[in-house]
Amino acid sequence: MEITFVNPQYLWMLFIVPFLVLTHFYGLKFSRKKAIKFANFEALARVSGGHKLSMNLPLLLLRFFTLLFLILALSFPILWYMGEGGDFNFVIAIDSSGSMLADDFSPNRLDAAKVAAIGFVDRVPEGSKLALMSFSGTPFIKSTLTDDFEKIRQGIDDIKLEYSSGTAVGDSIIAATNVLLESEKARVIVLLTDGQSNVGIVIEKAINYANDNFVTVNTIGMATKAGGRFSGIEAISVLDEDSLRKISANTGGAFYKAESNEDVITAYREIAQISKKKMPIKLSLWLIIFTFITLAIEWVIVNTKFRSIP
């Protein structure tokens, strides 16, 4: 089992915890100054319910866990465990933006990706269905789920450059997820790109949508350090490796960085050999519930045992 965070930037808020501790003890010191004004300490004991003016550690612990649960809920943690996948249905999603014609792969990125994807079709588990899409600034569904693998092979071979500016990775994940909704089998997207998502829906929303529908996204980042040329123009794609890793890690998939034709083939081969899938358990709702529980407990004891002395 492992835990991933869709919004890990919120974890920086954990640095607030030391300030919570300081605020707690400062408030306690202020309360003691008020209490010392009582001349009759027997009366003070009766008013305070008989408890000692302690460090109020139970209150501190409650406030600590309230803050912890809230910060973790905002970071959207997901607990993953391994389960049997049975039959799988796949969407093959291939970047068809202009940079895919760069020649740092043989004969170019797009053709190398197509050859590897056709090899993937030949290796998927028996009983699986496949769908096909390409994407650039918008996704293009080439085929919905089918067991006609020859149709998928022909569709891959027919993929051409799409003249739509940008690369919409988020939109492509959502479109591919929608294609998989008709399936009750394990749902997997195999997404290949050589660039970064710069138009359309943000990656975080796409990840959440895929998780809501139990879709695993495997990503393949296709680019060499040297870059390539097309139409006499230097083409050095900026591969957003961090985003691709984030997509795969937060949907239970795997990220593959391909810097050669063989790397692309190997990535597709490993994905085709999947026999198990990661199952997600979203923890945010439970953490929000725990936050309200600790707040309620604090409210009760603050107004009873640890009530302030007027």
pLDDT tens per residue across span 123-144: 988 888 999 999 988 999 999 9
Q: What angle do CA 172, 250, 116 make, to 5 degrees?
A: 50
pLDDT averaged over the chain? 81
pLDDT computed for residue 303 by the predictor:
75
CA atoms within a 13 Å half-sphere pointing along the CA-CB vector of 54:
11
Mean pLDDT of 39-48: 52
Give the torsion through C-alpha atoms of 281, 285, 289, 291, to 10 deg: 100
- Are the CB atoms for 191 and 172 separated by under 8 Å? yes
pLDDT at 221: 92
Query: Are β-strands 215-222 and 255-258 bridged in parallel, bridged antiparallel, or unpaired?
Result: parallel
pLDDT at position 245 over 90: yes
Q: Is the pLDDT of residue 95 over 80?
A: yes
Write down the domain spans for the chain.
2-79+284-302, 86-274
The pTM assigned to this predicted structure is: 0.67
Mean pLDDT value of segment 174-183: 90
What percentage of the chain carries pLDDT values higher than 90? 35
Could you tell me which residues come within 8 angstroms of residue 222 by beta carbon, excluding any fewer than 6 positions away?
Answer: 95, 105, 109, 112, 113, 192, 193, 194, 239, 258, 264
At a CB cut-off of 8 Å and minimum separation 6, what does 209 contact? 173, 174, 177
Q: For residue 43, is pLDDT > 60?
A: no
For the chain, the 3-state helix, strand and coil shares in percent, each to the nearest 5, are 45, 20, 35
Tens of pLDDT, residues 253-283: 999 999 999 999 999 999 988 756 666 677 8
Is the backbone of residue 207 left (phi > 0), alpha (psi -120 to 50) or beta? Answer: alpha
The CATH code for residues 86-274 is 3.40.50.410
When mean pLDDT is compared across 163-167, 180-184, 206-210, the lowest value belongs to 163-167
How far is the C-alpha of 78 from the C-alpha of 6, rounded, in Å? 8
Cα-to-chain-centroid distance, residue 61:
30
When comparing pLDDT for 193 and 39, which is higher? 193
Contact call for residues 128 and 87 (beta carbons, < 8 A): yes
Which residue in the block uniquely carries the two structure tokens 């009766």? 46
Where are the alpha helices (H) located in 162-310, listed in sequence order? Answer: 169-180, 203-212, 241-249, 261-272, 284-302
